[in-house]
Amino acid sequence: AQALARDWQTRCGVDLAIERPQSVPRGGPAIVCRFDRRAALAPKAGTARDAYRLVVTPRGVELSAPSVHGLRY
């Protein structure tokens, strides 16, 4: 999470606060990043580490990826 926050700050000038999942208010807008191998359509492909799944709803954004590489893309 810290590497991703540094990367976004460097690339976009955006400071992200890192919070534990329990501290995110229910129903409030949130950005959730998580590691999930199912985010890659072909988990054994050479590009699987760069895969990600992005879900955007009025309640927030969920970003899932099998590795930190996917979260950065």
Q: Please, are residues 34 and 64 in contact by the beta-carbon 8 Å criterion?
A: yes
Rg (CA), the chain: 13
pLDDT tens-digit series, residues 40-70: 877 677 777 788 888 998 888 888 888 878 8
pLDDT tens-digit series, residues 22-33: 555 566 667 788
Q: How far is it, in rounded angstroms, from Cα 26 to Cα 73? A: 27
How much of the chain is helix, strand and coil, in % rounded to 5?
Answer: 35, 25, 40
